[in-house]
Amino acid sequence: NAGVTQTPKFRVLKTGQSMTLLCAQDMNHEYMYWYRQDPGMGLRLIHYSVGEGTTAKGEVPDGYNVSRLKKQNFLLGLESAAPSQTSVYFCASSLDSVTAGGQQFFGPGTRLTVL
């Protein structure tokens, strides 16, 4: 099993450009999440999904959109990138919520720089 994979690993954008980050998991997990991690601020939840076809806002959703058309994939889109979106983005998945004991499985991350 590959677990959780993310593409791309690195990306540099200019202000105003758009891009999509792809997350895939092969564990048949229901829940998927997108986080951003900035220095000294820990992980903050951007959007999440509790199943195929569902999405919901997390703590810091502004400037991002997501889609979960297939159970195994969760896409994060930036429509018009801003320097404030320079960060490391992590995707995660979990089997479900309560019985998973809070355990989430994380992908390797995407390091995004917006100039």
Partner 1 sequence: GQSLEQPSEVTAVEGAIVQINCTYQTSGFYGLSWYQQHDGGAPTFLSYNALDGLEETGRFSSFLSRSDSYGYLLLQELQMKDSASYFCAVFDQTGANNLFFGTGTRLTVIP
CB 4 within 8 A of CB 23: yes
Decide: is 22 part of the binding site for partner 1 (CB under 8 A).
no
* Smallest gap from residue 64 Cβ to partner 1 (A): 16
The amino acid at residue 32 is M
Residue 98 contacts partner 1 per CB under 8 A: yes
Under the binding rule (CB under 8 A), the answer on residue 90 touching partner 1 is yes
Contact between 48 and 59 (Cβ < 8 Å): no
CA atoms within 13 A on the CB side of 14: 0
- Longest CA pairwise span in the chain (Å): 42
86 binds partner 1 per the rule CB under 8 A: no
Footprint on residues 26-85 left by partner 1 (CB under 8 A)? 33, 40-45, 48, 50, 56, 58-59
Q: Which residues bind partner 1 (CB under 8 A)?
A: 33, 40-45, 48, 50, 56, 58-59, 90, 92, 97-98, 101-109
